Amino acid sequence: MNNFYDKTKKVIGLSLTGAAVLPMLTSCADEAKKELPMNILYIMCDDHSYQTISAYDTTFIRTPNIDRIAADGVRFTNSFVANSISGPSRACMLTGKHSHANGFTDNSSSFDGGQQTFPKLLQQQGYETAVIGKWHLTSEPTGFDHWDILIGQGDYYNPTFIRNGEKVQRDGYATNVTTDLALEWLSAERNKEKPFCLLLHHKAPHRTWMPDTCDLELFADSNFPLPETFYDNYEGREAAKGQRMSISNDMDLVYDLKLADKDSTIHSRPDLEEWGRRIYNNMNTEQKAAWDAHYDIVIEKFKQAGLSGKELDAWKYQQYMRDYLRVITSVDRNVGRVLDYLEENGLMDNTLIVYTSDQGFYMGEHGWFDKRWMYEESFRTPLLARLPGGKAKGDVVEMVQNIDYAPTFLELAGVEVPEDIHGCSFLPLLKGEEWEPNRDGLYYHYYEYPDEHAVKRHLGVRTATHKLIHYYEDGVWELFDLENDKHELNNIYGHPGTEEITALLKEKLVVLQKQYGEEEFIAQ
Q: How confident is the model at residue 166 (pLDDT cuts 50, 70, 90)?
A: very high
The pLDDT, as a whole number, for residue 524 is 67
Q: How confident is the model at residue 262 (pLDDT cuts 50, 70, 90)?
A: confident
Answer yes or no: is 259 within a domain.
yes
Enclosing domain of residue 167? 45-431
The pLDDT, as a whole number, for residue 2 is 34
What pTM does this model have? 0.93
Contact 279, 157 (CB under 8 A): yes
CA 415 – CA 366 distance, rounded (Å):
43
CA 370 – CA 382 distance, rounded (Å):
16
Answer yes or no: is 453 within a domain.
no
The pLDDT, as a whole number, for residue 268 is 80
The pLDDT, as a whole number, for residue 280 is 85
**Does 250 have pLDDT greater than 50?**
yes
Answer yes or no: is 462 within a domain.
no
The pLDDT, as a whole number, for residue 28 is 54
The pLDDT, as a whole number, for residue 111 is 96
Answer yes or no: is 397 within a domain.
yes
Answer yes or no: is 508 within a domain.
no
Q: How confident is the model at residue 57 (pLDDT cuts 50, 70, 90)?
A: very high
CA 87 – CA 358 distance, rounded (Å):
9
Q: What is the mean pLDDT of residues 203-223?
A: 97
Q: How confident is the model at residue 466 (pLDDT cuts 50, 70, 90)?
A: very high
- Percent of residues, the chain, with pLDDT higher than 90: 85
Residue 203: give its domain's CATH number.
3.40.720.10
The pLDDT, as a whole number, for residue 279 is 82
Lowest mean pLDDT among 257-261, 415-419, 421-425: 257-261
Q: Which of 457, 498, 454 is nearest to 479 (CA)?
A: 498
- Please give the distance of CA 114 from its chain centroid, rounded to a whole number: 24
The CA distances from residue 78 to 68, 217, 379, in Å, are: 19, 34, 10
- What are the tens digits of pLDDT across the range 275-304? 777 888 889 999 999 999 999 999 999 999
The pLDDT, as a whole number, for residue 160 is 97
The pLDDT, as a whole number, for residue 265 is 87
Phi first, then psi, for residue 442 (nearest 5°) are -115, 140
Contact 328, 63 (CB under 8 A): yes
Q: What is the DSSP string of 220-232?
A: TT--PPPPTTTT-
Q: Provide the angle, in degrees to the nearest 10, between the axes of the packed helices 405-412 and 86-95.
A: 30
Answer yes or no: is 439 within a domain.
no
Q: What is the mean pLDDT of residues 457-478?
A: 98
Q: What is the DSSP string of 375-426?
A: SHHHHB--EEEE-TT----EEE-S-EEGGGHHHHHHHHTTPPPPTT--S---
Average pLDDT, the chain: 92
Answer yes or no: is 105 within a domain.
yes
**Number of domains, the chain:** 1
The CA-based diameter of the chain, rounded to the nearest angstrom, is 71
Report the b/e string of 43-82 with b at 16+ CB within 10 A. bbbbbbbbbbbbbbeeebbebebbbbbbeebbbbbbbbbb
Answer yes or no: is 481 within a domain.
no
CA 227 – CA 118 distance, rounded (Å):
39
